Structure 1
């Protein structure tokens, strides 16, 4: 079964819009795990506009499933992740002013940089994953960095699938097949939703984990968080 990791950034965004501690990010992380989620994902950014650096520390004691921290490996991010030692760190090449992630790594151009970063995390026992576009050359480049896993950037698939273009899955399937054959674990995330997750999962061999935030939280406004987590688990089973 593909694991569901819930990205809780949007809960932090809602909290920060009014100040205070409502909704409570830590309580939400506890709840989604209680409802069946197999991981909690956060993506802190330097301006702390949603997840704050303090949240990273506060969540550590309560995430008993998989704790996945995403982000651009700037020094402050690296220092905190190396101290916290989450289950997994997902490296994302975000610009500081990016609203959301919008591209994967050029694993060929940034090979040496990624090798050094990944070695630091792995030396602390942290599983590494790098955010990549569905490009076979980038999958091969990812293997050369020494990473444990890749996370396929799925925005293009989600957009095309919403237009009825099921063939948009093909580059992702081929990349997953290649990754499996060369010993890379496969994760995926970005714009996956209840509408497309089953089709995606059914066509991606060896899909280990999906990280879903914006769609899952939005769907929960109508259907309730416990119900939505269960719906995702059913579609991923």
Structure 2
């Protein structure tokens, strides 16, 4: 069964908009785990516009499922991850001013950098994953970095699926097949939703984990958090 990791960045965005502590991100993480989520994902950015670095430390004692911290491995991020020691770190090549993640790594161009960073995390017992576009050359490049897993960047699939193009799944199927063959674990995330998650899951062999935040929180406004968590879990069976 594919694990559901809930990205709680949007909860932090709502909290920060009023300057207080409502909703409380730690309590939300506790709640979604109680509702059945199998992981918590956060993605702190340098400007801390949603998840703050302090949140990463505050969440550590309460995440008893899998704790996944995403981000661009700038020195401040690397130091924080090494101190918190989450289950997994997902490396994402965000520009400082990016609204949200919008591209995967060029694992060929940045191989030496990724090798160095990944080695440091793995030496500290932290599982590593690299955010990548669905490109076979990038999957091969990811393998050469020593990473444990890849996370397939699924925005292109989600957009095409929403306009009826189910063929958009094909490059993801090919990349997952290659990753499985070369013993890379496969995660996925970005714009996955209740609308498309079952189709994606059914077509991606060996899908270990999906990270879902924006859609899940938006859907929960209408259907309730516990109900939405269970809908995802049902579609991921």
Whether the TM-score (by the shorter chain) exceeds 0.5 is yes
Query: What residue number does 1:230 align with?
Result: 230
Name the CA distance, whole Å, in 2 between partners of 1:39 and 1:177: 24
| Distance across 1 between alignment mates of 2:213 and 2:96 | 20
In the TM superposition, residue 103 of structure 1 has moved relative to its aligned partner by 0.0
**Structure 1 residue 186 displacement after superposition:** 0.0
Q: CA deviation at 1:193?
A: 0.1
User: Is 1:181 the counterpart of 2:181 in the alignment?
Assistant: yes
Alpha-carbon shift at residue 131 of structure 1 (Å): 0.1
SS at match of 2:63: coil
Structure 1 residue 133: Cα displacement? 0.1
Deviations 1:35-69 (A, max 9, x none): 00000000000000000011001000000000000
Give structure 2 stretches of 5+ with no counterpart: none
SS at match of 2:186: strand
Matched residue count: 237
For normalisation by structure 2, the TM-score amounts to: 1.00
Q: Counterparts of 2:72 and 2:176 in 1: how far apart (Å)?
A: 23
| Structure 1 gap ranges (5+) | none
Report the equivalent of 1:102. Answer: 102
With the length of structure 1 as denominator, give the TM-score of the two structures. Answer: 1.00
State whether structure 2 residue 50 is matched by structure 1 residue 50: yes
Runs of 4+ in 1 over 4 A off after TM superposition: none
Distance apart, 1:110 and its partner CA: 0.3
Deviations 1:158-179 (A, max 9, x none): 0000000000000000000000
CA RMSD of aligned residues (A): 0.2
- Write the distance in 2 (CA, Å) between the matches of 1:106 and 1:210: 21
Instruction: State the secondary structure of the residue aligned to 1:94.
Output: coil
